[in-house]
Amino acid sequence: MLTAMTLSRAPITALRPFVELLWASDGGAPASAGTGRELVLPTGALHLVVRLDDRPLRVFCDVSDAVGFSVSPAVIGGARAAPYLKDVSIPSASVGALLRPGAAGFLLGAPAGAFIGAHHALDDVWGRPAVECLRGRLVEEGSPAGRLALFEATLQARLPSLRRVDPRIAFALAGLRGNVPVAAVAAACNLSHRHFTQRFREAVGLAPKAWCRVQRFGCALDRLAAEPDIAWAELAAAEGYADQAHFAREFRALAGLSPGAYRRRAPAAPRHVPL
């Protein structure tokens, strides 16, 4: 789980069009009794995570799943609009990157739509020898700062010589962040609604409306973290929900638990809820 022993920063200039954030964690202390699983809330973005031990990421289908399934020590976390449950009972040092919308094709060689809503082994994309070599070098590099620099250099080396995010996708993201309706953004891109949705999903990993839902939810989580005692009705109005009931429905759909249950758990990191 995320702890105080996590280092994070923005990438170097060359990577900033493609990577939003880099982080390295020492894994922290073992989880206490009753908190061996963690609910991870959606960001709408694609993640890369490399664990430095040999234990693969283990995820569960739902809270009733006591066994779960293993993925890989190095994973691609596809964009999703729903939470997932993972095993955090044994800490693992790791490094990771949060990719920007439209970047998957450059760093992974496949559109974000190929990874949507699931975890995939990074071996399947980069090849096992390359991933094992990277993990070995990360283990040898003792400091979190050194691991971040090494991971960053690896990502930069994988960029093609000619690189530019599709300008229509960049334009669409700016418009949607500014609350421009999807239909208006599609028209401004000279694309039919259907063609725009397909193109956006391939590049970003979610359909435009789903991506907007997750972004608004993320803003609500960030505001709640900054103002933990804010009234639900005030929070709903501030983030553009129709009313408190609408906000509660969206919260349940995207977090897998009610706003009140989330607040009672008081997670240290807004999108990582210990169970």
- Per-residue pLDDT of 189-227, as tens digits, reads 999 999 999 999 999 999 999 999 999 999 999 999 999
1 within domain boundaries: no
Average of per-residue pLDDT across 232-248:
95
Element (H, E) at 48: strand 47-51
CB contact set of 238 (below 8 Å; sequence gap of 6+): 223, 230
Q: Inform me whether the pLDDT recorded for 143 exceeds 60.
A: yes
In this prediction, residue 1 carries a pLDDT of 36
Mean pLDDT across the chain: 90
In this prediction, residue 275 carries a pLDDT of 81
In this prediction, residue 266 carries a pLDDT of 85
What's the rounded Cα separation, in Å, for the pair 81 and 84? 10
Task: Verify that 187 and 110 share a domain, yes or no.
Answer: no
Q: Inform me whether the pLDDT recorded for 34 exceeds 80.
A: no
Domain assignment of residue 254, given as a range:
209-274
The count of domains in the chain is 3
Q: Find out whether 170 and 33 touch, Cβ atoms under 8 Å.
A: no
In this prediction, residue 28 carries a pLDDT of 67
In this prediction, residue 39 carries a pLDDT of 94
What's the rounded Cα separation, in Å, for the pair 187 and 196? 9
Task: Verify that 25 and 152 share a domain, yes or no.
Answer: yes
| Sheet bearing 47-51, strands edge to edge | 6-9, 19-25, 94-99, 47-51, 74-77, 119-121
Task: Verify that 55 and 70 share a domain, yes or no.
Answer: yes
Q: Find out whether 102 and 44 touch, Cβ atoms under 8 Å.
A: no
Query: Final residue of a domain: which of 125, 140, 158?
Result: 158
